[in-house]
Amino acid sequence: MGITFPEGFLWGTATSAPQFEGASTTGGKAEHVWDYWYKKTPELFHNQVGPEHTSDFYHNVDRDMEGMKQLKLNSFRTSISWSRLMPDGSQVNEEAVRFYRYLFKSLHNNGIKPIVNLYHFDMPLSFHKKGGWESRETVFAYSHYACTAFSLFGDLVEDWVTFNEPIVPIEMGYLNDKHLPAIYDMKKAVKAAYHTMLAHAMAVKEFRRQSGVKIGIILNLSPVYPKSDSSADRMAADYADLFFNRSFLDPAVKGTYPDELINWTKELGIVPPVAKEDLAIIKENTVDFLGVNYYQPRRVQQPVKRENGLSLDAYYSSYEWPERRINPYRGWEIYEKGLYDIAVRIKEEYGNLPWFVAENGIGVEGEERFADHNGDIQDDYRIEFISEHLKWLYKGITEGSNCYGYHVWTFVDNWSWLNAYKNRYGLFRLDLNTKERQIKKSGKWFRVLASENELPE
């Protein structure tokens, strides 16, 4: 006997338009920041492979629908490209409408639930040039885009998501150089984060006005574990949790920002400009569900450098936990119990909100070395990775956590930001030259899991 998941549990894969669609300069699509960045500095991208080199889903919907059926998926999490749907920021591109309507109809016809996200790191270049999330104009433009998408596709899509991992472009773009604008500026980071949250809440408001069915947000929640029980280490963990988890989780689910976060921005003099109506919009427009991306936890200790409050180093330091297991092919820690800890936390601290795993998966550099003589990738490590996470997830569910689905990152190996095709995540392997897709051992295994709704012990 295996482990049986609740009836109707969603078994899906996840991907995003900028990493999967291709056709980055055709079909009326305008440039987004990644197209632009790659054009300017291709050498920053792994093997100089840019966002036009994808599996070209745009021209392969029928073929990939067969792949989804082969996997027995009942859910598919993807995103709409803002710069494709509204290339000039206001007019609708009819070719994009035809493409997305065809996709959502095909999913329906095959019994696969579309979970549709509106934004996956792909800021249209025109808005980036006007300040991106630092500008309130982008907030209104996004809200208009969201409203347009709901009315164009609301008859075909019930489950909507406003943002994927909204903290990532903030952390990687304003406190690091891995996303644009690639600067280090805490004040701008806070402003951009606040505007993203406001855009989210305005989209939820529009959605309810149009009587939409369900809307949520996808957050990368990493449980934070302190190095020791000392008060300094615990305080460091509380800060990391505040910055990376609660800064979006609390306003999205509870409708309010944590007091600690507000006080911190006041102490540093980096309170963002808040208009009179903003906080009421955030308060009144909380989510119906949460999507959680989980890859690895954060392990922290008291800060090594304390002097400068405008640097995160002043609040915590990362540390290498000696017992941790590392994925040798990607360098990320593997800690399956983290998913259980998230399940318990949502139940205990966030009103047992319905939630699903929106991304979980293992990246493998040089995965070709695991191909057998037929070219089939023998990815037993992926099967083990998914199984062990599912066991912990199941424990959380049996203890009452309201989780209703699991999505593997990803369906077909996809392009990923600066890493391009360095790390492969798919249940299908992609041949970058021929665009052929070939099911991996994990894909065949996932098919049985999804069709039986049962994890073999």
Between residues 347 and 437, which has the closer beta carbon with respect to ligand BG6? 437
Binding mask 114-153 for ligand BG6 (x = CB under 6 A): ----------------------------------------
Tell me which stretch binds ligand BG6 (CB under 6 A): 67-75, 200-208, 316-324, 415-423.
415-423
Between residues 245 and 416, which has the closer beta carbon with respect to ligand BG6? 416
Between residues 164 and 301, which has the closer beta carbon with respect to ligand BG6? 164
Nearest-CB residue for ligand BG6: 416
Q: Please, what is the minimum distance in Å from the beta carbon of residue 12 to ligand BG6? A: 15
Residues binding ligand BG6: what is the number (CB under 6 A)? 13
Q: Does 423 bind ligand BG6 (CB under 6 A)?
A: yes
Q: Does 79 bind ligand BG6 (CB under 6 A)?
A: no
Binds ligand BG6 (CB under 6 A): choice among 285, 416, 438, 442: 416
Q: Please, what is the minimum distance in Å from the beta carbon of residue 263 to ligand BG6? A: 29
State the catalytic residue, choosing from 21, 333, 359, 367: 359
Q: Does 54 bind ligand BG6 (CB under 6 A)?
A: no
Binds ligand BG6 (CB under 6 A): choice among 74, 220, 286, 402: 220
Distance between CA atoms of 131 and 123, rounded to whole angstroms?
A: 10
Binding mask 4-33 for ligand BG6 (x = CB under 6 A): ------------x--x--------------
Which pair of tokens denotes residue 296?
Answer: 């690895």
Between residues 120 and 347, which has the closer beta carbon with respect to ligand BG6? 120
Residues 241-300, interacting with ligand BG6 (CB under 6 A): 293
Of 397, 384, 402, 393, the C-alpha closest to 456 is 384
Tell me which stretch binds ligand BG6 (CB under 6 A): 103-111, 395-403, 416-424, 448-456.
416-424
Residues 294-333, interacting with ligand BG6 (CB under 6 A): 330
Q: Does 165 bind ligand BG6 (CB under 6 A)?
A: yes
Q: Please, what is the minimum distance in Å from the beta carbon of residue 409 to ligand BG6? A: 6
Q: Please, what is the minimum distance in Å from the beta carbon of residue 330 to ligand BG6? A: 6
Between residues 401 and 423, which has the closer beta carbon with respect to ligand BG6? 423
| 259 contact partners, CB below 8 Å, separation of at least 6 | none
Between residues 54 and 285, which has the closer beta carbon with respect to ligand BG6? 54
Between residues 99 and 409, which has the closer beta carbon with respect to ligand BG6? 409
Q: How many CB atoms lie within 10 A of CB 25?
A: 11
Q: Please, what is the minimum distance in Å from the beta carbon of residue 122 to ligand BG6? A: 10
Assess whether 165 carries a catalytic annotation: yes
* CA angle, 2 then 4 then 7, to 5°: 160
State the catalytic residue, choosing from 165, 171, 333, 367: 165
Q: How would you write the chain as a 3-class SS string?
A: CCEECCCCCEEEEECCHHHHCCCCCCCCCCCEHHHHHHHHCHHHCHHHCCCCCCCCHHHCHHHHHHHHHHCCCCEEEEECCHHHHCCCCCCCCHHHHHHHHHHHHHHHHCCCEEEEECCCCCCEHHHHHCCHHHCHHHHHHHHHHHHHHHHHHCCCCCEEEEEECCHHHHHHHHECCCCCCCCECHHHHHHHHHHHHHHHHHHHHHHHHCCCCEEEEEEECCCEEECCCCHHHHHHHHHHHHHHHHHHHHHHHCCCCCHHHHHHHHHHCCCCCCCCCHHHHHHHCCCCEEEEECCCCEEEECCCCCCCCCCHHHCCEECCCCCCEECCCCCCEECCHHHHHHHHHHHHHCCCCCEEEEEECCCEECHHHHECCCCCECCHHHHHHHHHHHHHHHHHHHCCCCEEEEEEECCECCCEHHHECCEECCCEEECCCCCCEEECHHHHHHHHHHHHCEECC
Residues 354-383, interacting with ligand BG6 (CB under 6 A): 359, 363
Q: Does 51 bind ligand BG6 (CB under 6 A)?
A: no
Distance between CA atoms of 118 and 134, rounded to whole angstroms?
A: 19
Between residues 299 and 407, which has the closer beta carbon with respect to ligand BG6? 407
Q: Please, what is the minimum distance in Å from the beta carbon of residue 220 to ligand BG6? A: 6
Q: Which residues are catalytic?
A: 165, 359
Please report, as ranges, the residues that interact with ligand BG6 according to CB under 6 A: 16, 19, 164-165, 220, 293, 330, 359, 363, 409, 416, 419, 423
